[in-house]
């Protein structure tokens, strides 16, 4: 099996026009969340979102606007690079425009966004689209890593993008999943999530490809796991069984012991049930051991199909800077999160980082990212 190396990462978020700016602002304790102005939301049970200003000042296709900003950050890719597209709800812009009597702005289907990206990046491979709800790009990176490990491909890029649409905001509001105050992951008084705009990319290469092109990798993907909790379509299993299984699968593949994990980039949406489920899975997998846990969703919002790629990219920065960003919004941690989560940056020791995402349909996905010695 080939090693799976991370060659490059990129992102655009409400906190920065690129990954470095996003990282610096996160570490400085800034948040992009603000009351939503993009559409009338006064009667919806939700308040804030992390919006990229550019999307509000243009009438162009929102996801393509994000992707335009993302692709210019990427170094050239080999023509045979396999593209995995993980945006999940970009196409609802057509539904919104149609209902408002506005011009329809394609693309509509997932495959059309992938085709646009293939053209823009000069790729000849057909690629594939993955939808695993909020775990889409985590699953996408898992598939990409598997393709490289099994020798199916030498270059795979995973790209996800989603935006705060009226469709999605009203839906999460109807489910009463949005915070009506402030998104506070792992806080004892947390009351829901906030949504965010983002696009993110993670480019994986085989060891052979890295050696051939004299590439210095940023990090490596050591293990991955995907599991369903068979509990409910929109609610996680309280005991964290699905996420525990995904973490176990990733640890087994990485041939690592639980003690080798030194930091955890959690899904951390700020909903009561998600964060409690993650703490259960953490305890199931690592016992009572305390090590730095963080969530970026109190600062960036939940970026849906981009979340896993964005958080993987940030996890690479955690490994290479030996520090986690603060968990913005945290006031008083929930009891089981005490000694794990912090409103300040936390130092990280030698070892690997675990990053996970969970989504509707009972899907849980885990990645273990290791540094390059």
Partner 1 sequence: MNINVTGGGFVTISGWGKLGDKVSLHEQNGTVSLPEPKLIFPEIPKRWGRFDNFTRMGCTAAALALQDASYHKNSMTCGMVISTLYDTIITDRDYYQTTLEDEGAMSSPNLFSYTLPVIVLGESCVSFDLRGPTFCVGDHPETVGMDALKSAVRMIRSEKSDRMLAGVVENPPADLNGCPMAFFIVLEKSVITSENQVFTLKADGNNFEFKKNKIGSILDFFNKD
Residues at the site binding partner 1, with contacts judged by CB under 8 A: 40-44, 85, 88-89, 91-92, 95-96, 99, 109-111, 114, 126, 128-133, 135-136, 139, 143, 146-147, 149-150, 152, 166-167, 170-176, 225-234, 241-242, 245, 249, 359-363
Q: Residue 74: which of 22, 26, 116, 122 has the closest Cα?
A: 122
The least distance separating partner 1 from the CB of residue 73, rounded to whole angstroms, comes to 25
* Residue number with CB closer to partner 1 (19 or 132): 132
* Residue number with CB closer to partner 1 (186 or 224): 224
The least distance separating partner 1 from the CB of residue 234, rounded to whole angstroms, comes to 5
* Residue number with CB closer to partner 1 (165 or 327): 165
* Residue number with CB closer to partner 1 (21 or 45): 45
Dist CA 168 CA 166 (whole Å): 6
**Residue 34 bridge partners (DSSP):** 49
Dist CA 131 CA 140 (whole Å): 8
* Residue number with CB closer to partner 1 (241 or 316): 241
The least distance separating partner 1 from the CB of residue 348, rounded to whole angstroms, comes to 28
The least distance separating partner 1 from the CB of residue 226, rounded to whole angstroms, comes to 4
The least distance separating partner 1 from the CB of residue 362, rounded to whole angstroms, comes to 5
**Residue 6 bridge partners (DSSP):** 204, 219
Query: What residues contact 267, with CB distance under 8 A and at least 6 apart?
Result: 134, 274, 278, 295, 297, 307, 356, 357, 358
The least distance separating partner 1 from the CB of residue 147, rounded to whole angstroms, comes to 8
Q: Residue 10: which of 183, 116, 137, 122 has the closest Cα?
A: 137
* Residue number with CB closer to partner 1 (41 or 52): 41
Contact yes or no for 177/47 (Cβ under 8 A)? no
Q: Following DSSP, what letter does each residue of 47-95 receive, concatenated?
A: -EEE--HHHHS--S-HHHHHHHHHHTTSPP--TTPEEEE---STTHHHH
Which three-class secondary structure state does DSSP give residue 297? helix
């Amino acid at each position: 099996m080939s090693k799976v190396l991370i060659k490059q990462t990129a992102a655009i978020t409400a906190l920065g026009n690129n990954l470095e700016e996003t990282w610096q602002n996160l570490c400085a304790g800034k948040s992009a969340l603000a009351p939503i102005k993009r559409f009338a939301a006064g009667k919806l049970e939700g308040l804030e979102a992390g919006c990229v200003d550019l999307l509000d000042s243009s009438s162009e296709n929102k996801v393509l606007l994000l992707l335009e900003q993302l692709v210019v950050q990427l170094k050239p890719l080999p023509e045979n690079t396999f593209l995995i597209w993980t945006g999940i709800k970009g196409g609802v812009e057509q539904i919104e425009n149609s209902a408002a009597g506005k011009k329809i702005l394609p693309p509509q289907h997932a495959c059309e966004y992938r085709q646009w990206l293939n053209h823009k990046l000069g790729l000849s491979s057909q690629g594939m689209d993955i939808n695993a709800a909020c775990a889409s790009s985590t699953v996408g990176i898992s598939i990409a890593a598997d393709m490289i490990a099994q020798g199916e491909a030498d270059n795979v890029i995973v790209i996800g993008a989603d935006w705060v649409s009226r469709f999605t905001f009203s839906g999460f509001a109807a489910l009463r999943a949005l915070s009506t105050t402030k998104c506070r992951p792992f806080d004892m008084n947390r009351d829901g999530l906030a949504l965010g705009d983002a696009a993110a990319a993670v480019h994986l290469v085989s060891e052979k490809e890295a050696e051939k092109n004299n590439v210095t990798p940023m990090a490596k993907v050591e293990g991955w796991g995907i599991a369903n909790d068979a509990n409910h379509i929109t609610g996680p299993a309280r005991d964290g069984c699905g996420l525990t299984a995904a973490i176990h699968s990733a640890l087994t593949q990485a041939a690592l012991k639980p003690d080798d994990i030194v930091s955890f980039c959690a899904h951390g949406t700020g909903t009561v049930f998600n964060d409690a489920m993650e703490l259960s899975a953490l305890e199931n997998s690592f016992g009572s051991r305390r090590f730095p846990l963080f969530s970026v969703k109190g600062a960036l919002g939940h970026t849906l199909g981009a979340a896993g790629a964005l958080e993987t990219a940030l996890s690479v920065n955690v490994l290479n800077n030996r520090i986690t960003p603060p968990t913005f919004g945290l006031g008083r941690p929930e009891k089981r999160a005490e000694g794990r989560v912090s409103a300040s940056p936390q130092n990280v020791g030698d070892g690997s980082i675990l990053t996970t995402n969970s989504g509707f349909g009972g899907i849980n996905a885990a990645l273990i990212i290791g540094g390059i010695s």
